[in-house]
Amino acid sequence: MPVVYLIVIYRIPNSPMAILSLYNKHILLGVTGGIAAYKSAELVRRLQDAGAQVQVVMTPAAQEFITPLTLQALSGNPVHTQLLDPEAEAGMGHIQLARWADLVLVAPATADFIARLAQGMGNDLLTSICLATAAPLTLAPAMNQGMWRNQSTQANVNILRDRGIQLFGPTDGSQACGDIGPGRMLEPTQLVEAAAGLFQTGLLAGKKVVITAGPTREAIDPVRYISNHSSGKMGYALAEAAAEAGAHTLLISGPTQLPCPARVTRIDVVSAVDMFAASLREAADCDLFIASAAVADYRPREVAEQKIKKGEGESITLTLVKNPDIVAAVARLPQRPFTVGFAAESEHLVEYARRKLVRKKLDLVIANDITQPGIGFNSDNNAVTLVDAAGEQVIDQRSKTQLARELVTILAEKLASSSHHHS
């Protein structure tokens, strides 16, 4: 049998920006005691491929899963393991390490480490560095799905998020214990991209972007409502892309099942009237407003105080009244932002989108054909046509994440060349 060698060359997908934004950055990688620690070895290499300098700090439990020698060989630096190590203190103690770091990334971050960090403990080298550093602190949680879902863990995670600590992941997948569920650590390439995203100044640096997303719910009585099939995926992807591009990003979201993207502030609303109020409040001083929510056009005139009982008759009559038009109201503001609307159409796509552009005085309309299979509501993919005064531009089908990045790039250029962005 001839011997066949398979050579796999790893690349970070589509991220020249990632490479640039991690170049020469000091990344302090914390490794805690989870089975995912075996991936930390590859993570060191990927971070270095992106041009970063890496110092590794391991907890005692981490050393049960992977040896310091492995990470030392990969990082080219001595691995730090002890808080009160006389040799390490002479070289690089916890205060020096805390000052050295541009970013502290803990991957994997176990439930125990998250709990200790939430309590503000400094009972080992890694927690002490986390307490002492002024650098952004990011965690890549990795644990059994039961531990991740546990109330204590979720409470600790919320404490950390409130302190501005970012979590990358976890994601769903098969776990070492055989379970399937949330708790699996993101892959090294994904963590490199996420870390790079923190350093991207981007095309919208210093701009305030407000995005509406998801459906609205219009109450009929305390238990029933009128709504639609919007998943919010497109709006959330746009918010993530705007944050990546350096914008101060606000996401005004109807009820969805989606987690809020990193570096995005989410304002939760339920009804169209709530969304209208939040949108006008936030749009007053924003640079770019993107109305991607599927807002209910009508709401019941009266909301019953009590649950409507099933009557004797065959039918019930609801009187619906028109909801306020959010995007048109934003476009009419005296200090108006660059205003972008969405048009979901089933026919005459460009013609209807252009009518909407003119009627509502918008700067741009993003139109998608809801009759096309595999795109639009609830799908992970989308294809759109951009319609503005200059003409039309078609962006063919791709993932909503990729599409969002492309849209943000186009919108940033149009915003920069438009006459009414804030000076």
Does 327 count as an annotated binding residue?
yes
| DSSP-derived pairing of the beta strands 53-58 and 338-345 | unpaired
Does the annotation flag 207 for ligand binding?
A: no
Q: Which amino acid is at 21?
A: S
CB–CB of 292/211 below 8 Å? Answer: yes
Q: Are 135 and 104 in contact (CB under 8 A)?
A: yes
Helix (H) or strand (E) run with residue 209 in it? strand 208-213
Distance in angstroms (rounded) separating the CA atoms of residues 306 and 331 = 38
- Give the span between the Cα atoms of 264 and 61, in whole angstroms: 34
Q: Report d(CA 215, CA 131) in Å as an integer.
A: 41
Concerning whether 260 is annotated as a catalytic residue, the answer is no
Contact yes or no for 258/332 (Cβ under 8 A)? no
Other CB atoms within a 10 A radius of the CB of residue 344 amount to 17
> Would you say 342 is a known binding-site residue?
yes
307 is in an annotated binding site: yes
Confirm or deny that 309 is annotated as ligand binding. Answer: no
* DSSP structural state of residue 188: H
Closest alpha carbon to 54 in 103, 5, 119: 103
Is 377 a known ligand-binding residue? no
Partners of 166 in beta bridges: 138
Are the beta carbons of 254 and 214 closer than 8 angstroms? Answer: yes
* Residue 54 marked as a ligand binder: no
**Active-site position among 130, 177, 260, 286:** 177
In 3D space, the residue among 163, 100, 96, 125 whose CA is nearest the CA of residue 30 turns out to be: 125
User: Cis bond leading into 141, ω under 30°?
Assistant: no
Cβ pair 254, 275 in contact under 8 A = yes
Q: Which amino acid type is present at position 151?
A: Q
Beta strands in 32-71 (DSSP E): 53-58
DSSP of 308-331, one letter per residue? PPP-SSS-----EEEPP-HHHHHH
Q: Which residues are catalytic?
A: 177
Residues making up the annotated binding site are: 297, 307, 324-327, 342, 356, 360
Residues making up the annotated binding site for CTP are: 297, 307, 324-327, 342, 356, 360
